[in-house]
Chain A
Amino acid sequence: MRIENLAINKNGFAFDPTTGETFTLNDTAREIIEDLAKGIDEKEIAKKLSKEYEVTEEEAFNDVLDFKEKLKLYGLLS
């Protein structure tokens, strides 16, 4: 899981030291990455998001799954 090694700064930039790749991301993306790295499951992450933000748990759940797909395509998650 390369996301564990991602160096994410406050300005929405992430650096992957293993490949030298950089990414831009928003706050929601950062939170999900941090949670995934801690081993929290998708449903739990969705629940957290829906408590913190104006979003339903259902919508957030889909977004987390979709986001994981993106991380896989970028090789950040296996």
Chain B
Amino acid sequence: MAKKTYEKPTIIKVESSHSKAGVPMPKQKIRKTIGGVNIDEMVDKFGSPLFIFDEKAIREKYRRAYEAFSSRYPNVQFGWSYKTNYLKAVCAVFHQEGAIAEVVSEFEYEKARELGIDGKDIIYNGPFKPYESLVTAAKEGAKIHIDTFDEINDLEKVADELGLEIPVAIRLNMDTGIYPQWSRFGFNIESGQAMDAVKRIRAGGKLRLTGLHAHIGTFMLDANAYKIETAKMVRFMNEVEEKVGFTIEYIDVGGGFASKNHLKGIYQPPEVVVPTIDDYAEAITSALYENLKGNSYPKLYLETGRHLIDEAGYLVTSVVASKTLPDSRRSYIVDAGVNLLYTYFWYKFNIELTREVSGISEPAMINGPLCMNIDVIDESILLPRLKRGDKLVISPVGAYNVTQWMQFIRYRPRVLMVTEDGNVEIIREKEDLSDIEKREILPEKLKLK
């Protein structure tokens, strides 16, 4: 006699606080493929956990964003924010699409150069730019965005050293009606500090101000903040051109557009609260047209990060164990944790299964493999009883995780890219002991054998 399909034993007390439990999940969230390729097969072949990026989704997102801006204001250029995701393959896709590089350290600068990006196609931001890196950036014609008065001094020294007048931009901060205000970076417009910086640059006579930059925050849910930002920047530009006589060639409004992720503490789903790319584009370009004078149309730069990559990245993780907790919730232990998911601290992820699981769902929590109480991927989720080896697909995780992840307790896993033509490429190998020990030195007298 054929055996019956096994459903793990499940019992749930019917009580108001768990009123949604005890019924079959209204609709199980299932994802079987990424970029058209079967997820279970990728795990069989490449192991678990796996980060997986969808090339087609990246390109489509970029093209949509570019079109939203260029259709309204043709003189526009995106700079790919390296810190958001600096895997070579990911950067290369953005560069192929036409983005230049936006970096915030000498390390990121080197990474962009090594990938084949010319200095002139690099925007160099950041509150600390080591002197030697400024020399290199100035020589190579990078767009250097000054953050402090000290950096003006450094750059004047570089100008002397190289015998060059260096074109520069300054970073501005301002009140755009959002909280918290990112006032730590650059020079404040309202206080007059920004105009002081411009005058200081003029007085030095060694640098030429050609651009204005600002980055007002990240995951900005209010498109109108960009309208205020852009308007203030253009008015400041008009004032600089009139009073100080520099010609401003570009305005860089930074990054910060939200992705379709679910911020913790926000009740409504991202589909409701996240502005569309057209909302952002309209806010920025309308402020340009309303405030620009005469026939000058400075180049508009954007440093959009998470909006362009978050939704193209997935983390596939497998159930390794499960147990009943003293509060009667089920805990699933999976092979990826907050060591790999830095954005867990802000996001409640979308979690999907790769197969339909029959049976009633029960309240569960998903725990990573670290020996730490904070290793929680989801505190409260309704799931049918999963078996060892069942997979969870976590998304969106494309932004900031593969840069801010930690090598802590476990090795970092493979990263795959499903290409446009449906091939699967390893774009970062999984780590092994040699990666971690490469930089360690054991003093002779401490050697054990």
Q: Is the CB of A25 within 8 A of B4?
A: no
| B11 within 8 A of partner (CB) | yes
Nearest residue, chain B, Cβ from A60: B6
Per the 8 Å Cβ criterion, residues 4-20 of B in contact with A are: 4-14
Q: Is the CB of B3 within 8 A of A23?
A: no
Q: How many residues of B contact A (CB 8 A)?
A: 24
Per the 8 Å Cβ criterion, residues 25-50 of A in contact with B are: 25-29, 31-33, 49
**Within 8 Å CB of A51, what residues of B?**
3
Most buried by B among A12, A29, A32, A69: A29
Q: Is the CB of B6 within 8 A of A25?
A: no
**Within 8 Å CB of A49, what residues of B?**
6
| A70 within 8 A of partner (CB) | yes
CA A51 – CA B6 in complex, angstroms?
A: 11
Q: How many residues of A contact B (CB 8 A)?
A: 31
Q: Is the CB of B14 within 8 A of A70?
A: no
29 pairs from A and B in contact (CB 8 Å cutoff): A14-B11, A22-B13, A23-B12, A23-B14, A24-B11, A24-B12, A24-B23, A25-B9, A25-B10, A26-B9, A26-B11, A28-B6, A28-B7, A29-B11, A31-B9, A32-B9, A49-B6, A53-B5, A53-B6, A59-B387, A63-B8, A64-B9, A66-B324, A67-B11, A69-B323, A69-B324, A70-B324, A73-B324, A73-B327
Which of A's residues lie within 8 Å of B, judged by CB? 12, 14, 21-29, 31-33, 49, 51-55, 59-60, 63-64, 66-67, 69-71, 73-74
Which of B's residues lie within 8 Å of A, judged by CB? 3-14, 22-23, 322-324, 326-328, 359-360, 387-388
5 shortest interchain CB distances as A-B pairs: A24-B22, A53-B6, A55-B6, A29-B9, A25-B11
